[in-house]
């Protein structure tokens, strides 16, 4: 089940979210296939396109919406043709044909991952817990190489715990439950008495001084 979509209708709350990130307005861009482009490899895809066809890379944010839950901005790059037109040339895992993109003046890619921006669309404790978990997880593991590196010991246990809790909260939110509903883990307890304390505990561990 797909959770996030591209909010191509540009509702007011998406425009307001984009304004918090960049002084430039969001744009709806069509996906244009480019030979050799791979999903999740926008920076390399655009670099290759520039080398072949000219133009330049434009950096900014690809906007996603989890309807009724949150909006999220993912660091992204698109290709600007020599004529000045913008094209998204990176295939999407869910085969979306359009994206919402907001460029950011002066933004560049320095070879390191950049955390997403996230904003809750509802005042719900589980949504806020999920956003805090994502931020804390990036604080711990954001620059861990995507492959060829195996975490060990305490770091491995913390990473697994982060991922398990995020999956639990996603499952809970997909069912539309609140912190007073039964926890999605199947314990029979309310979320606030079951896994909410576990979320608070692991967030305390996210302080870099404790690593």
pLDDT in tens, the chain (211 residues): 457 899 999 999 999 999 999 999 999 999 999 999 999 999 999 999 999 999 999 999 999 999 999 999 999 999 999 999 999 999 998 888 999 999 999 999 999 999 999 999 999 989 999 999 999 889 888 766 555 457 678 778 878 888 899 999 999 888 877 888 888 889 999 989 999 998 888 887 766 434 4
Question: Among 1, 136, 13, which Cα is nearest to 65's?
Answer: 13
Element (H, E) at 179: none
pLDDT tens readout for residues 120-142: 999 998 999 999 999 988 988 87
Dihedral sign for Cα 49, 19, 30, 138, please.
Answer: positive
- What are the boundaries of each domain within the chain? 12-103, 123-210
> What's the rounded Cα separation, in Å, for the pair 88 and 28?
10
* Mean pLDDT taken over the chain: 89
Instruction: Look at strands 27-30 and 117-120 and give their pairing.
Output: unpaired
For residue 85, give both structure tokens: 């037109």
């Amino acid at each position: 089940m797909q959770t996030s979509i591209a909010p191509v209708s540009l509702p007011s709350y998406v425009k307001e979210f984009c304004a918090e990130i960049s002084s430039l307005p969001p744009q709806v861009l069509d996906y244009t296939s480019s030979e050799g482009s791979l999903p999740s490899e926008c920076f390399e895809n655009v670099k290759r396109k520039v080398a072949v066809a000219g133009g330049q890379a434009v950096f900014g944010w690809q906007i996603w919406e989890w309807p009724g839950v949150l909006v999220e901005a993912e660091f992204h790059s698109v290709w600007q043709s020599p004529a000045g037109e913008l094209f998204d040339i990176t295939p999407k895992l869910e085969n979306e044909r359009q994206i919402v993109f907001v460029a950011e003046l002066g933004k560049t890619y320095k070879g390191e991952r950049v955390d997403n921006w996230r904003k809750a669309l509802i005042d719900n404790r589980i949504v806020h817990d999920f956003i805090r978990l994502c931020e804390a997880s990036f604080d711990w593991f954001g620059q861990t190489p995507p492959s060829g590196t195996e975490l060990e010991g305490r770091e491995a246990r913390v990473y697994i715990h982060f991922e398990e809790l995020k999956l639990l909260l996603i499952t809970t939110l997909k069912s539309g439950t609140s912190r007073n509903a039964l926890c999605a883990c199947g314990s029979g307890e309310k979320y606030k008495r079951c896994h909410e304390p576990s979320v608070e505990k692991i967030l305390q561990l996210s302080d870099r001084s404790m690593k």
